[in-house]
Amino acid sequence: MRNKPYSSIESIVIAADIGGSHITVAPIDISSSQAVSERMLRARVNSRGTREDILNTWCNVLEMAFASFNERPDKLALAMPGPFDYENGISYIRGLDKYESLYGINIKEELANTLNLSHKHVLFRNDAEAFLHGEVATGLVEMNNRVLGLTLGTGMGTAFSYAGKTIDLNLGSESYQTSIADDFFTTRWFVNRYEELSGNKVTNVEALSELSGKDKTVDVLFDEYASRLTNFLAGHIVDLRIDTLVFGGNISKANRLFLPKFSAMLAAKGITPAVKLALQGEQSAMIGAAFLFNAVQGTHEPKIIV
């Protein structure tokens, strides 16, 4: 991250991206859509730990970010996975092998009290929504584009952005084949499907991508992924009148193995959106979360038209 001057402490939001195994924190200047420190803080989190373990880890790294300023910021925004009550700050994550000890806990209250913040200055945003808004806000696509964002990794995040406003779509929860989409477009599908086809085990998509060209099963797997993704998304792209797709997440790092076929299969159906890869990395979710304070401070956000 480049070191950026900030306009005033009032424009600074301490923002965090909450992942399944980590928390990443950076101060964001919402007046310039930029991180303001070269030091992005990151800590591993035992998401299967107790409530106290998880919250203590979060608060420790967040406090370090707040304390890095001579004049302490007073705003906190977090990009969080769901299911989650984003307005009230209550976690309803259950059955996902992470953060189960936080089920029903008012995290807004816990963080505000521990970090000595006003409850109204602790805001939460869906992580997929935050990711896409961060990419749009920093200029990856034009504000007047109708954009579908996909974060593909341990989960499938989907969001829609238009005219400066972004909303979560939660397409991963939609019915697909024998289950829901999230079971077919995430890391666990690759791991399980590879073992089913080859009898061998891998831990993640990065390991699979390294086998491309050496193991024919891997190429078959990515072709199948591209085909499934095309069939699932085509109708949504048409219905939402999407003109730009933005891909992020760890699976997207293997984009050379599936995006060309995906784009070609869409084109064969007469669907030709621009396809872009996220540029901000994990900063995008923090920038997108921090932008919640634009609405708090009265910045007009046009109504989104789906």
CATH topology of domain 9-130+283-296: Nucleotidyltransferase; domain 5 (3.30.420)
- Is residue 68's pLDDT more than 50? yes
Average pLDDT over residues 231-247: 97
In CATH, what is the architecture of 143-277? 2-Layer Sandwich (3.30)
- Is residue 36's pLDDT more than 90? no
C-alpha span between 294 and 198 (Å, rounded): 50
Average pLDDT over residues 23-42: 83
> What pLDDT score was predicted for residue 3?
46
pLDDT tens for 115-149 read 999 999 999 999 999 999 999 988 999 888 999 99
- Equal fold, 9-130+283-296 vs 143-277: yes
> Is the distance from CB of 141 to CB of 115 less than 8 angstroms?
no
pLDDT tens for 190-217 read 999 999 999 999 999 999 999 999 999 9
What share of the chain has pLDDT > 70, as a percent? 93
- Is residue 1's pLDDT more than 80? no
Cβ-based neighbours of 221, under 8 Å, separated by 6 or more: 190, 193, 194, 197, 208
- Is residue 187's pLDDT more than 70? yes
Question: Average pLDDT of the chain?
Answer: 90
Average pLDDT over residues 58-83: 94
What share of the chain has pLDDT > 90, as a percent? 76
> What pLDDT score was predicted for residue 304?
36
> What pLDDT score was predicted for residue 82?
87
Which pLDDT band, with edges at 50, 70 and 90, does 297 fall under?
A: very low
Measure CA 176 to chain center. 21
CA torsion 11→16→17→21, rounded to 10°? 170
Domain positions in the chain: 9-130+283-296, 143-277
